[in-house]
Amino acid sequence: MEVIIRPDADAAAGLVARIIAKELRANPHLVLGLATGRTMESVYRVLVRMHRKGGLDFSLCSTFNLDEYVGLALSDPHSYRHYMNEHLFQHVNVELRNTHLPNGQAPDLDAECRSYEAAIAKFGGIDLQLLGIGRAGHIGFNEPLSAFKSRTRVKALAPLTLEQNAEFFGGADKVPRRAITMGVGTILESRRCLLFATGAEKAGIIAKAVEGPITSMISATALQLHAHCTVVVDEAAASCLEGSEYYRRIFATEPEWEEFRNLD
């Protein structure tokens, strides 16, 4: 795992977008795993700008989102399909038929989960998986006790997750109780993971995810087992990390980060 600390949320989002852009330029057929949530909005804003002003080309790439609420229509403004259309897909030249999210309205949800896994396999697996982190430490909707070998499945949302998403739905009682999510095992099979978090409210959970003991109570700790996981945080989200001096030195001196250093 490598941890990159940027001075503020914009600089951190800019770095995440540049890492994605670099991978996409190196492999135009990139299979990109995408995430939702407030934090990601700033990354998608930068990617849209890079497409408009820098010609970043999404025409050959395919995408797989981590998760979707059960029971919401694709057109529902709270659905993650709607979120992705609004924040990214309709502003770049990705082929909509190459964008995938689980269908939370499928009549047979277990079959939907199996076919989502099959689709990821058919596209050759995920090259780069973008991840946010919930306040309880979930990645996707892998709530506490999610098995590290879990695959795409239906998951009941934890109380803290319902609370965290309440403002979007006008109250915790209106948040769907279940979601389809890629499993921790599915995520760990991606060739590279890129976890992005900003703000002081994420500082405690980021320290646990990165430096704490591996536990299925905090699914993000599974990323410590991944061979190529980059964590990008701003100063606020980094404030509880014990090893930050070491992480800063790596970013400041290691050659692989040179091209990303002077961008703020």
Binding site for ligand GLP (CB under 6 A): 35-39, 66-67, 132-134, 140-141, 161
Cα separation, 42 vs 17, in Å, equals 9
Three-class HEC string of 5-72: EECCHHHHHHHHHHHHHHHHHHCCCCEEEECCCHHHHHHHHHHHHHHHHHCCCCCCCEEEECEEECCC
In the complex, least distance from residue 140 CB atom to ligand GLP, rounded to whole angstroms: 5
Minimum distance from CB of 73 to ligand GLP (Å)? Answer: 18
User: Is the CB of 57 or the CB of 235 nearer to ligand GLP?
Assistant: 235
Q: Which helix (H) or strand (E) holds 231?
A: strand 229-234
Looking at the Cβ atoms of 151 and 248, the one nearer to ligand GLP is: 151
- Cβ proximity to ligand GLP: between 94 and 206 the closer is 206
Q: Are 2 and 247 in contact (CB under 8 A)?
A: yes
Q: Whole-number minimum distance, CB 132 to ligand GLP, in Å?
A: 3
Residue with tokens 């780069």: 128
DSSP lists the bridge partners of residue 64 as: 33, 100
Report in angstroms how near the CB of residue 195 gets to ligand GLP at its nearest. 9
Instruction: Give the nearer residue to ligand GLP in terms of CB position, either 29 or 38.
Output: 38
